[in-house]
């Protein structure tokens, strides 16, 4: 076996590191002018010796944990739940992942991979971690080493699984990039606040019903029927919480906000039967304490790693000052509560300037977003406060704090020093060939309608411009297929008028990419009828693209609703979109339908925030701009895990012929792979995974 259990962070400076890497292309990148453009002020100090290597072993296993008092199977790294890692800007990050998960975990046993959320991975596209896009998943019993130079803005990120359901089952953790020089903010100490939502049911059991026919006429005893995952049973603060804090009803798809009451600091074993679906073992659980000392200033690195919950985080009696969003600095903004959507990060400064005591730390799902969700409660504890006491003030209830308005979010902007080439701080990571973070003019515009169609097979999907995109079309990395044969995509492209429907089957044989209907965003109209396939936009290095994401009620925009089921759906919700390989400028957002003639003038091209995860507001639109400076195939997707699974994604293929050849040790691809749109009928689940408890 291996030494992965040794939870080791070995930082080594190796003179002959080029040979170690065994990958000549990396040598080429390191010497290229492109790197010096990304580091306009020169490479880090140790460059003459070669970058230092920060190495982690990830021994990935399944284990039982009770983060919210309910014991269940979770995915662990070296025995830790939500393992934190960190690396210094300019270092080589090397993570060897040993997949020691059992081969009996549907949608997880098919393989895992890791995405470095927020990293641009310029020149390191093969390590971006999207299963079947950049690599095949790491199969059970095998290992793979991610190895790339961290040319990223110092700040707060996270790593997470990106192949099947492994993220929702706990395969994620904080990822901190330290600057090679001093930090840009003044503070005494730092704390991480890792936010997540916790389901008592395995992600797999929640996922199967999402693929089953929504249309009652298509349902059979074997197919089963569609079922929504509903809200999580608990919100976790640094992986701690208690599902009993809020009086959730079973399933919790209710519109009634729950009443919450927090009575104990340490929740003893034996209270697991108070909810109908919470009949698991309760070995006890702890509440999170964020500890501070009076007089000090803390940098709190907030990360929303959840699968559904858009959170509003409040520190009782303390305002906090936002100083960075998705790693890039912002003009300081002081707020009593921070709205943080899935995939987003905020760095906030908190001054411990109140009387020594215990204060509530609360993560709320505001009523208007997911009514019925629980809230998460922890304690901000000053050194010297009585540790056996909870804060005396009443807790915040889920509906008691309003969500941020456009007025609040519009105040999150880039500081002037980043907008002027002469004042950009040393070490700032800029788009290629840019001399500051000021947005360049766009060369292209793409309008994307977010729709929720019903496919002819009865599946309810999320789609972009009427295409619900598969995750696993060919059992081969799409990046490699497209890099070797760009013409393949155009030859696979479907007439948008016909709308070919992909084969309605659970599995694919290796190499059968041609079976997958492909739609190119080339100015043609969207498919008339909704389709399942894959949606691409071809770009060339240097393009600057405005993407207008239009989010009207679910069945607007010609999302073809067959007469009968779903014809009158008016579902509306926000979606947190995340872009791989790039940060983007958030230029504008508004209610209603985007109007090119009247709304472009509202774009903030002066000091827009530079982010990688942003909300597409409901019944409205959000306009983002990115510079295609990174050859490869990059995914833009909703970070609500369930929506991603249901197809809410598309790919930008930027000069893929310029991507490097794949490293020789990329994981082996399996001979068959699963369509994430496969009909998980009861008989199929039974035949593939046996009665492992998931075949409901």
Ligand X SMILES: *[C@@H]1O[C@H](CO)[C@@H](O)[C@H](O)[C@H]1NC(C)=O
Place of tokens 């073809």: 560
**Is 565 within 8 Å of 214 (Cβ atoms)?**
yes
Residues whose CB falls within 8 Å of the CB of residue 221, separated by 6 or more in sequence, listed in order: 682
How many residues of this chain bind Cu ion (CB under 5 A)?
4
Residue 643's binding partner out of Cu ion, ligand X, none, with CB under 5 to 8 Å set by partner kind:
Cu ion
CB of 440 to ligand X, least distance (A): 7
For residue 478, give the nearest of 649, 277, 269 by alpha carbon: 649
643 binds Cu ion (CB under 5 A): yes
Residue carrying structure tokens 């076996």: 1
Decide if residue 299 touches Cu ion (CB under 5 A): no
User: By C-beta, is 462 or 675 nearer to ligand X?
Assistant: 462
Burial environment of residue 20 by CB neighbours within 10 A (0 to 12, 13 to 18, 19 or more): middle
Position 405 contacts ligand X (CB under 6 A): no
289 binds, among Cu ion, ligand X, none (CB under 5 to 8 A by kind): ligand X
Partners of 449 in the β-ladder: 550
Structure token pair of residue 559: 């999302």
The CA distance from 151 to 139, in Å, is: 29
The residue within the footprint of ligand X, chosen from 71, 344, 449, 469 (CB under 6 A), is 449
535 binds ligand X (CB under 6 A): no
Q: Is 147 in the site for Cu ion (CB under 5 A)?
A: no
CB-count exposure of residue 597 (10 Å: 0-12, 13-18, 19+):
exposed
Tokens of 656: 């893929």
36 touches, from Cu ion, ligand X, none (C-beta below 5 to 8 Å by class): none
- Tell whether residue 541 is a contact of ligand X (CB under 6 A): yes
Report the candidate in 287, 67, 64 with the shortest Cα–Cα distance to residue 198.
Answer: 67
* 253: contact with ligand X by CB under 6 A: no
Contacted by 575, from ligand X, Cu ion, none: CB < 5 to 8 Å by type: Cu ion
Binding mask 551-590 for Cu ion (x = CB under 5 A): ------------------------x---------------
- Binding string, 279-308, against ligand X, x = CB under 6 A? -------xxxx-------------------
φ, ψ dihedrals at 348, nearest 5°: -125, 150
Q: Which residues have CB under 8 Å from 274's CB, separation 6+?
A: 244
Q: Which of 361, 348, 357 is nearest to 294 (CA)?
A: 357
Establish if 598 lies at the interface with ligand X (CB under 6 A). Answer: yes
* Binding of ligand X by 497 (CB under 6 A): no
Of 69-77, 112-120, 192-200, 257-265: span binding ligand X (CB under 6 A): 257-265
Nearest to 630 by CA among 27, 29, 15, 7: 29
Neighbours of 494 (CB within 10 A): 17
Cα gap 574→147, rounded to integer Å: 35
Q: Which does 602 bind (CB under 5 to 8 A by kind): Cu ion, ligand X, none?
A: ligand X
Q: Which is nearer to Cu ion, 362 or 451 (CB)?
A: 451
Provide the minimum distance between the beta carbon of 342 and Cu ion in the complex, in angstroms, as a whole number: 9
Distances (CA, A) of 186 to 49, 183, 299, 663: 31, 8, 9, 41
Beta bridge partners of 320: 335
Q: If residue 369 lies in a helix (H) or strand (E), which one and from where to where?
A: helix 367-370
Q: Does 72 bind ligand X (CB under 6 A)?
A: no
Stretch of residues binding ligand X (CB under 6 A), selected from 10-18, 355-363, 364-372, 488-496? 364-372
Question: Contacting Cu ion (CB under 5 A), which of 460, 638, 659, 685?
Answer: 638
Least distance from ligand X to the Cβ atom of residue 556, Å: 6
CB 280, CB 71: distance < 8 Å? yes
> Judged by CB under 5 A, which stretch of 99-107, 353-361, 407-415, 630-638 contacts Cu ion?
630-638
Residue 42, interface with ligand X (CB under 6 A)? no
- Residue of minimal CB distance from ligand X? 590
CB atoms within 10 A of CB 102: 12
- Give yes or no for a contact between 100 and 91, defined as CB atoms under 8 angstroms apart: no
Question: Restricting to residues 410-439, which ones interact with ligand X according to CB under 6 A?
Answer: 432-433
Which of 139/459 has CB closer to Cu ion?
459
CB of 622 to Cu ion, least distance (A): 12
Binding-residue pattern over the window 138 to 157 for ligand X, x denoting contact by CB under 6 A? ----xx--------------
Between 627 and 639, CB nearer to Cu ion: 639
- Tell the smallest beta-carbon distance from residue 182 to ligand X (Å): 28
Which DSSP symbol is given to 600? Answer: G
Compute φ and ψ for 229, nearest 5 degrees. -70, -20
Q: How far is the CB of 492 from ligand X (least distance, A)?
A: 20
Kindly state the smallest distance separating residue 167's Cβ from Cu ion, in Å. Answer: 15
Binding track, positions 310-329, relative to ligand X; x by CB under 6 A: -------xxx----------
Task: Confirm or reject binding of residue 369 to ligand X (CB under 6 A).
Answer: no
Please work out the total of residues on this chain that contact ligand X, with binding judged by CB under 6 A: 53
Q: Evaluate whether 94 touches 51 at the Cβ level (below 8 Å).
A: no
Cβ burial, residue 356 (10 Å; 0-12/13-18/19+)? middle
Binding mask 92-131 for ligand X (x = CB under 6 A): ----------------------------------------
Q: Compute the least distance from the CB of residue 49 to ligand X, in Å.
A: 28
Q: Which is nearer to Cu ion, 209 or 440 (CB)?
A: 209
DSSP string, 128-179: S--BTTTB--B-TT-EEEEEEE--S-SEEEEEEE-SSSTTTTT-EEEEEEE-
**Residues at the site binding ligand X, with contacts judged by CB under 6 A:** 2, 142-143, 221, 240, 255, 257, 261, 263, 265-266, 286-289, 317-319, 336, 367-368, 371, 386-389, 399, 402, 432-433, 441, 447, 449, 465, 526, 541-542, 556-558, 563-564, 567-568, 588, 590, 595, 598-599, 602, 629, 665, 682
**Residues at the site binding Cu ion, with contacts judged by CB under 5 A:** 575, 638, 640, 643
């Amino acid at each position: 076996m291996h030494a992965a259990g040794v939870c080791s962070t070995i930082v080594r400076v190796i003179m002959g590191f080029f040979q170690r890497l065994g990958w000549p292309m990396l040598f080429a990148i390191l010497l290229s002018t492109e790197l010096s453009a990304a580091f306009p002020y020169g490479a880090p100090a140790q460059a003459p010796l070669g970058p230092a290597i920060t190495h982690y072993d990830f021994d990935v296993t399944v284990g039982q944990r009770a983060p919210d008092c309910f014991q269940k199977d979770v995915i662990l790294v070296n025995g830790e739940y939500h393992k934190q890692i960190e690396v210094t800007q300019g270092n080589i990050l090397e993570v060897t992942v040993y997949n020691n998960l059992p081969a009996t975990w549907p949608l997880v046993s098919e393989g895992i991979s890791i995405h470095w959320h927020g990293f641009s991975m310029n020149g390191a596209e093969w390590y971006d971690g999207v299963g079947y896009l950049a690599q095949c998943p790491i199969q059970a019993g095998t290992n793979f080493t991610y190895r790339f130079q961290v040319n990223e803005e110092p700040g707060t990120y996270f790593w997470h699984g990106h192949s099947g359901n492994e993220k929702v089952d706990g395969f994620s953790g904080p990822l901190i990039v330290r600057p090679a020089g001093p930090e840009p903010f003044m503070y005494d100490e730092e704390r991480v606040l890792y936010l997540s939502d916790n389901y008592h049911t395995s992600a797999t059991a929640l996922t199967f019903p999402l693929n089953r026919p929504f249309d009652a006429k298509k349902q059979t005893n074997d197919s089963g029927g569609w079922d929504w995952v509903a809200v999580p049973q608990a919100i976790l603060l640094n992986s701690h919480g208690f599902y009993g804090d809020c009086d959730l009803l079973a399933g919790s798809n209710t519109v009634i906000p729950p009443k919450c009451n927090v009575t104990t600091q340490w929740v003893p074993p034996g209270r697991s039967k108070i909810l109908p679906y919470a009949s698991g073992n309760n070995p006890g659980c702890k509440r999170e304490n964020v500890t501070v000392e009076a007089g000090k200033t803390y940098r709190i690195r907030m990360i929303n790693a959840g699968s559904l919950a858009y959170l509003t985080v409040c520190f009782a009696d303390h305002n906090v000052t936002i100083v960075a969003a998705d790693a890039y600095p912002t003009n300081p903004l002081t707020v009593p509560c921070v709205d943080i959507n899935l995939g987003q990060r905020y760095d906030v400064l908190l001054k411990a300037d109140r009387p020594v005591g215990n204060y509530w730390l609360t993560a709320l799902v505001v009523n208007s977003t997911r009514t019925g969700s629980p809230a998460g409660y922890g304690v901000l504890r000053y050194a010297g406060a009585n540790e056996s006491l909870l804060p005396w003030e009443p807790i915040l209830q889920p509906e008691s704090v309003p969500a941020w308005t456009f007025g609040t979010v519009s105040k999150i902007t880039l500081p002037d020093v980043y907008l002027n080439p002469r004042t950009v701080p040393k070490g700032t990571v800029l788009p290629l060939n840019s001399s500051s973070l000021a947005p360049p003019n766009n060369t292209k515009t793409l309008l994307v309608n977010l729709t929720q169609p019903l496919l002819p097979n009865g599946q309810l999907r999320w789609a972009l411009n009427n295409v619900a995109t598969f995750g696993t079309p060919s059992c081969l990395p799409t990046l490699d297929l497209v890099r070797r044969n760009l013409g393949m995509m155009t030859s696979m492209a479907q007439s948008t008028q016909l709308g070919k429907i992909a084969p309605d089957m659970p599995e694919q044989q290796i190499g059968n990419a041609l079976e997958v209907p492909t739609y190119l965003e080339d100015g043609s109209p969207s498919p008339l009828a909704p389709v399942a396939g894959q949606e691409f936009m071809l770009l060339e290095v240097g393009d600057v693209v405005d993407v207008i994401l239009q989010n009207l009620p679910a069945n607007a925009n010609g999302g073809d609703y067959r007469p009968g089921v779903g014809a009158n759906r008016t579902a509306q919700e926000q979606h947190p979109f995340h872009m791989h390989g790039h940060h983007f400028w958030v230029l504008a957002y508004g209610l209603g339908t985007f109007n090119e003639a009247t709304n472009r003038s509202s774009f903030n091209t002066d000091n827009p925030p530079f982010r990688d995860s942003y909300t597409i507001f409901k019944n409205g639109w959000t306009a983002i701009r990115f510079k295609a400076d990174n050859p490869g195939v990059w995914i833009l997707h909703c970070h609500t895990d369930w929506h991603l699974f249901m197809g809410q994604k598309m790919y930008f293929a930027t000069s893929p012929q310029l991507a490097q050849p794949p490293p020789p040790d990329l994981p082996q691809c399996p001979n068959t792979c699963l369509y994430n749109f496969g009909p998980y009928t009861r008989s199929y689940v039974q035949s593939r995974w046996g009665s492992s408890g998931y075949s409901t």
